[in-house]
Amino acid sequence: MKQHTVTDSPYGPLTLVAEDGVLCGLYMTDQRHRPPEESFGERDETPFGVAIDQLEAYFAGELKEFTLELRLNGTEFQRRVWDQLRRIPYGETRSYGDLADALGNAGASRAVGLANGKNPIGIIVPCHRVVGANGSLTGYGGGLDRKKRLLDFEGAAALF
């Protein structure tokens, strides 16, 4: 059973989605690959207290690593990429090539980029921390402006 709620953030409203009480989605407005609203289930804040508390602490600069149970629905490869995203420390960036190398497949940069773009739990699974090989900003489902603002907020040393 799915449920959802909407919470405010410095980056606009965030839609949180849970499946059987476990967070499975965090979507920004106008986000690429955002599922249709009718797939989010009933509106109910019950399963989201800890997630909202941690997001508020993150946006206040008090939390650098989320400790939420997540349900990452995707292919095996996508889940491996998303696991690597969670290993990128706060305030740091990695390139698509770095992630491909970490997965043991140096030639998979493009596939890593596609999986990164379909990350269903933005911010908490920090796909915004992935940049181009030369440190430049590259695509972000929430828009490049949001990506830059998130990286600036974290103090990430990207060359954009």
Residues classed as catalytic: 127
Cβ-contact 96, 130 below 8 angstroms: yes
- 86 by DSSP, 3-state: which? coil
User: Reading across the β-sheet that carries 2-7, which strands appear in turn?
Assistant: 22-28, 14-19, 2-7, 42-43
Please tell me the distance from the alpha carbon of residue 30 to that of residue 141, in angstroms, as a whole number. 9
